Amino acid sequence: MLAIAENDPAFLAIPTLDLARAITLRDGQCPRLLLLEGHNHFSPPCSIGTTDDELGSAIIRFIQPFN
């Protein structure tokens, strides 16, 4: 799973998108890519466990199949 924040500067978001592209070309399918609207590069981890827990919920959904 990869995630970028809506307000990430390009120099942070572009490498994540490049990684998603490389994984897609290698595996033939795109990895889960999460766009966190209204967030910047630092706010998603800080929101885990709050009422705006989109990232934390996505992480739980991602790892549940491995339990």
The residue that leads in pLDDT, 67 or 3, is: 3
State pTM to two decimals: 0.82
**pLDDT at position 65, please?**
81
Q: How far is CA 26 from CA 4, 29, 31, 50, in A?
A: 21, 8, 11, 36
Q: What is the pLDDT of residues 9-56, one digit of tens each?
A: 999 999 999 999 999 999 999 999 999 999 999 999 999 999 989 999
* Cβ-contact 2, 20 below 8 angstroms: yes
